[in-house]
Structure 1
Amino acid sequence: MGHQGETGMSVMDRIDGIGRWLIDQAPHGNVKDLFAGFCREAVRAGWPVWRASLGLEVLHPEVSGWQHIWINESLSVREADRATAASSPSYLNSPTRIVDETDRPFRRRLDVPCPEMPLLEELRLSGATDYVIYPLPFLDQTRTAAISFATRDAQGFDESTIDGLARAAKMLSPYLERHVLRRIAIDLLDTYVGPRTGQRIIEGRVDRGAVELIEAAIWFTDLRGFTRLSEHSPIPDVLADLNSWFGIIGEVVEAHGGEVLKFIGDSVLAIFPTSSEQNSRLACRSALAAAQEFCLRTNAGNELRGSLGRAPLMHSLSLHFGEVAYGNVGAPHRLDFTVVGPAVNRASRLLDLAKQLDRQVIVSRVFAQKLDQPLVDLGRHHLRDIDRPQQVFAPLE
């Protein structure tokens, strides 16, 4: 039967109850509700859990992971910054680090001070008497996945409880890993192809040649003189400049409702999708507003660079509007989710013209017609591979 607890239930009775709850009643929609429900079931089963913590590491360029902390029916979530998580004192002096390095449970009775682990000392001063943390048996062992429990029971955790919590954690583990894997997939798609495109891929649109025709404002920009800059600057400085410049583009495009599709060397392709005539005007206004904010920020950055004796980062940017094929192109085993079509080609040729005219931003006639603001008429110009001269405009300074 197993050991009996204070409630008269055996370990196996309690585990059976947790298992039935996970199968039949647990809220599997998100980690927060699942973990909170699991903690309530653990207490209902008779285990003297006062505090529980769940640490899950993900794969995101800015976020290392999340820690869910449950105390007496109250749940909070803390986000860890990827840049500092692994080197922070809170991690280096924590039970989590021990579990990560040993892949074994760690237990500490809190009947004496433990200054070498600030978290445990904080729990002890809050009335905790015992603490245990278990590594979760995820298939992927390269990232942190651990669950801990603390009690205020005067006797601490008995061996029956330690055994029961370990078994319950193992039962919960596959449900948690399912959430983590999905979160990693979504985060990676958002990071590498953008949230709109990532959503389409996660929905199953992975057939080569599968595209949809959409209308969008198209943004094309690149750095001018980047080759010269690369030739005369150390590679770390070039990468820092490029990332800073790309970072501004990403921020202003996303802030105005667009999506960056590609970083192509020192160039960027972005779109502002639309679904109706009214929205097409909004998309163009948003794209222009993003371009103007981008110019303001880069000009301010160049003033600072000049004061430091560094060369400015100059750019050209073209804006066009039209129908594009949005979807998968590429080789059978290496697809690219992008936009193609005459409108994209024309935006690219406009970018070449912007460089020739030494303009920061130029817009096509089609794009200009969607706006309700005055523009500078730059006349008609020949674009490479385009039969007729095209009228182009520039925003007012």
Structure 2
Amino acid sequence: MRTGTRSRYRRLLEWQRERLSDPPGDVAGLVHRYCRFLHAEGLPVFRANLSLTTLHPQIKGLRYVWQADHVEPGPFPSAALVHRSCQHLDGCTVEEAFLHYGARETPQFVRSPFYALRESGGDRLSLRIAPTAGKRSRRFPVLDDLAAQGATHYAAFQLRRTDGMISLVTRHSGGFDRVALARIADTLVVLESLLDSAIKDVVLDSVLRCYVGAGPATEIRRGNLSPGSMLTMDGAIWFSDIRRYSNLSRQLPPDQLVSLLNRYYAVLVEAIHVHGGDILKFIGDAILAIFPVAAGEPGGDACRRALAAVETASSGLAEADLGLQHGVGLHLGRFQFGNIGNHRRVDFTVIGDAVNVAARIEAQCSVQQQALLMSEDFARASGVPTRVVAAVPLKGLDGTHDLHTTGGGD
């Protein structure tokens, strides 16, 4: 092996070692540092596009677009967008996008070089970009856009290990020659190894949040996995379910019922999430969620966030016109949050009297013909005008309990 080649591989391995100390799951940062490394190695890339497939119940793909300049991304080119963010690092720009299922069936993807590379089954697609005067006539629309930015060469590579693809674009007058493409291919072996670990971390965090909620996901990542590992917390507790759900389940075919439930959940999940709540369980048609009280803080903010989520959910359901009515029971109290089960199956949940109170209050929504009921403790802490609907016994609890709803008395 020649001295220059040995030096190049040594620098690549040193760069790989440095990356092992990077924050876990920082795919955007990894893409940025990779492109900067290529530039330092005499491979001047001004744009890169990394496309990855994931095993995730909601997110099919990840997309990272790096540019060597500080730019503000324009409208997203695909209707499959779930989430999008942008970072500016060292004068460069990295755009991260999460895409839902169907992202690789959109017209934009079908007209892309990535689609052609995937269909060909090859490992590489190399396209020279000659300058043109205004006319958009290339086989791939993206090449017209890149030509307008001074691009001279577009190269796309399959990433077999991570089930993805990456494109690299240069403005260098000679483009990527045969040697440059071979050198890039060598670096991609290292990049894939680093990506494999980073993507697993991103997907693990996302899947955990999807299945158990943000709070439980954090505890799992901290290693609080053993059955019986519980935390004592204060917070507002949300319990809701759909009115006359049993009738619906008998009247609708299963596929229609599931579709209706998913549309209902889509409204409520977003409403709870946007106001800082954490959904812990779907129990058939019921939802159990918490709005944690920060340490040392009074409970009023958590209660007001829960009420704001109720209002947002009500507006969303009215707009969606699902033909559903539901009840929401709210309570403020202390509960135990953590892991129950055994070594074969564990579940993160909340337990305690406060949870039971919220469930019992929600059960009264149908009896009292109210869409929202809250406990005395919740109403007092919220500081918003309320009125007492009824004073009733609650199953399994002593005495009678005042049930409030929003709106002051006459």
Is 2:61 the counterpart of 1:52? Answer: no
TM-score normalised per structure 2: 0.82
Is 2:49 the counterpart of 1:16? Answer: no
Whole-Å separation in 2 of the counterparts to 1:227 and 1:103: 53
Q: Deviations over 1:289-309 (max 9, x none)?
A: 3224433443x348x56xxxx
Whole-Å separation in 2 of the counterparts to 1:11 and 1:131: 25
2:157 to 110, 131, 134: 134
The residue number in structure 1 matching 2:30 is 34
Question: Offset of 1:156 from its aligned partner?
Answer: 3.4
2:226 to 203, 207, 212: 207
1:182–1:293 Cα change, 3 Å: same
**Quick check: 1:60–1:184 contact (8 Å CA) kept in 2?**
no
The residue number in structure 2 matching 1:309 is none
1:287-326 matched pairs, under 5 angstroms: 287-298=306-317, 300-301=318-319, 304=321, 312-326=323-337
Q: Deviations over 1:181-207 (max 9, x none)?
A: 111011111111222221111121111
The residue number in structure 1 matching 2:378 is 367
**Quick check: 2:241–2:285 contact (8 Å CA) kept in 1?**
yes
1:254 to 273, 277, 286: 273
The residue number in structure 1 matching 2:141 is 118
1:395–1:44 Cα change, 3 Å: closer
Percent identity of the aligned residues? 27
Whole-Å separation in 1 of the counterparts to 2:192 and 2:218: 26
Whole-Å separation in 1 of the counterparts to 2:222 and 2:157: 35
Whole-Å separation in 2 of the counterparts to 1:317 and 1:156: 62
1:97 to 115, 118, 126: 115
Question: Offset of 1:329 from its aligned partner?
Answer: 1.1
Whole-Å separation in 2 of the counterparts to 1:373 and 1:126: 56
Question: Offset of 1:168 from its aligned partner?
Answer: 1.0
1:275–1:54 Cα change, 3 Å: closer
Whole-Å separation in 2 of the counterparts to 1:289 and 1:25: 43
1:149 to 150, 153, 168: 168
Number of aligned residues: 379
- In structure 1, what residue type is equivalent to 2:260? D
- In structure 2, what residue type is equivalent to 1:41? F
**Quick check: 1:380–1:392 contact (8 Å CA) kept in 2?**
yes
Whole-Å separation in 2 of the counterparts to 1:362 and 1:80: 37
Question: Offset of 1:159 from its aligned partner?
Answer: 2.5
1:379–1:157 Cα change, 3 Å: closer
- In structure 2, what residue type is equivalent to 1:366? D
1:16–1:237 Cα change, 3 Å: same
1:227 to 231, 235, 246: 246
For structure 2, the 5+ residue unaligned runs are: 70-90
1:131–1:230 Cα change, 3 Å: same
Greater Cα shift, 265-274 or 235-244: 235-244
Q: SS state of the match for residue 382, structure 2?
A: coil
1:383 to 394, 398, 403: 394
Greater Cα shift, 71-80 or 85-94: 71-80
TM-score normalised per structure 1: 0.85
Computing the radius of gyration from Cα coordinates, the structure with the larger value is: 1
Greater Cα shift, 23-32 or 225-234: 23-32
Aligned-residue Cα RMSD (Å) equals 2.8
The residue number in structure 1 matching 2:200 is 181
The residue number in structure 2 matching 1:6 is none
- In structure 2, what residue type is equivalent to 1:85? A
**Quick check: 1:221–1:318 contact (8 Å CA) kept in 2?**
yes
- In structure 2, what residue type is equivalent to 1:119? V
Question: Offset of 1:326 from its aligned partner?
Answer: 0.1
- In structure 2, what residue type is equivalent to 1:342? D
1:321–1:83 Cα change, 3 Å: same
Question: Offset of 1:251 from its aligned partner?
Answer: 2.1
**Quick check: 2:28–2:64 contact (8 Å CA) kept in 1?**
no
Q: SS state of the match for residue 316, structure 1?
A: strand
1:68 to 65, 68, 72: 65
The residue number in structure 2 matching 1:88 is 106
Question: Offset of 1:244 from its aligned partner?
Answer: 2.2
Q: Deviations over 1:151-180 (max 9, x none)?
A: 344443332222211101111221122211
The residue number in structure 1 matching 2:302 is 283
Question: Offset of 1:344 from its aligned partner?
Answer: 1.0
1:77–1:14 Cα change, 3 Å: same
Q: Deviations over 1:87-136 (max 9, x none)?
A: 12332232323444526222234459983322235435544443322223
Q: SS state of the match for residue 194, structure 2?
A: helix
